[in-house]
Chains A and B, each alone.
Chain A
């Protein structure tokens, strides 16, 4: 009997998973198709496919998936979301720092070069004035 109950629980997991995907298929068939392709793709291909999902797509999939899980598991999702948020925040600020330095240094380089031409030109005009006065 115990074995039977375990088997029922184990087999019900994919059924639960099917449920939320069926709901998603009703709401957004195009996205559900993309999700199917993503699930069937090999690791390298699946990683490349990540960029194909828009922010709205990810939000929809995630909310459907979360809703299909029992309340206890929601706490794990909180932890995962917090971890991902902190990681993404760190990466974004790192990228912003490099973008800021790249633009700043490029502009400084052009500014210094422009100032150098201007300074040389001014010095030359002074020299021309002196030559004229001689």
Chain B
């Protein structure tokens, strides 16, 4: 089953790249720079999904105190952070040719996303700096929950504050927003599915690694204890 999903993911990526660079029409106002959109927005959506999984797993960890759930939450939070870093790279590179600047400090969508990136960067540092697994799991679960609370704010930022610089929402936005061309819409959704598959595969691999690593550490600890 995993093998089939991986092949399907490969096919989706091929189709996605083909559509972005050979099929989809150029935007009338932004030209070729608008094609960054097909990478930028799905990457942001994927990070939101990853943080949502991490949020649910963290709540469940605090209830059940099962370290497997902590590993699941950590794998999705770290993978989500990698994708937010991707958004932080593609966003300014899209903004520069369109706005004339890499960043707009007064844009609420940008700033709320930056805060989200910082929160999950702190999550990674927290896990890296705490050797005690129980304490680390408890603290990082709380931080993942707090960090997730920023996700709805990022999502709603362009709807609440009516940011002039940031483009309008793709879905459920105001009048005149969204993708008009069906090819654009198809390409976008293929991108969203392809990025989700990729995120799932990476988070799954990382979770397996975390679980195996903790088993090995426990084994080493047991061996040392026996040796004494």
| A interface list, Cβ under 8 A from B | 50-51, 91-92, 94-96, 98-99, 101-103, 105-106, 109-110, 113-114, 117-118, 120-121, 124, 127-128, 131, 134
Contact = CB atoms under 8 A, between A and B. Distances in A.
The range of chain B's interface size is: 20 to 34
A102 B223 contact: no
Q: Which of A99, A109, A117 has its CB near the most chain B CB atoms (within 10 A)?
A: A99
Contacts of B177: none
Given A50-B28, A109-B82, A120-B209, 16 more contacts: A95-B32, A95-B97, A96-B32, A96-B33, A99-B32, A99-B93, A102-B94, A106-B43, A110-B86, A113-B79, A113-B82, A113-B202, A117-B209, A118-B205, A121-B209, A124-B209
B35 interface: yes
A99 B40 CA distance: 11
5 contacts: A99-B33, A102-B94, A109-B82, A110-B202, A117-B202
Nearest to B20: A103
Q: Provide the main secondary structure of the chain A interface.
A: helix
A124 B216 contact: yes
B102 to A, nearest CB: 10
B36 A103 contact: yes
Q: Provide the main secondary structure of the chain B interface.
A: helix
A118 B198 CA distance: 14
B148 to A, nearest CB: 21
A102 B43 CA distance: 12
Nearest to B206: A117
Contact of A134 (B31, B93, B212, B223): B223
Interface of B: 28-33, 35-36, 39-40, 43, 79, 82, 85-86, 89-90, 93-94, 96-97, 198, 202, 205-206, 208-209, 212-213, 216, 219-220, 223
Given A106-B89, A110-B86, A117-B206, A124 B212 contact: yes
Contacts of A117: 202, 205-206, 209
A95 B37 CA distance: 13
Contacts of A96: 32-33
Nearest to B205: A117
Contacts of A95: 30-33, 97
Contacts of A92: 31-32
A129 B174 CA distance: 58
A120 B216 CA distance: 13
Contact of B35 (A99, A110, A128, A131): A99
B82 A131 contact: no
A8 to B, nearest CB: 41
A103 B90 CA distance: 7
A102 B32 contact: no
Q: Which of B79, B198, B206, B223 has its CB near the most chain A CB atoms (within 10 A)?
A: B206
Q: Which of B33, B43, B212, B219 has its CB near the most chain A CB atoms (within 10 A)?
A: B33
A96 B39 CA distance: 15
A127 B198 CA distance: 27
A102 B97 contact: no
B36 A102 contact: yes
Given A99-B32, A99-B33, A110-B198, A121 B93 contact: no
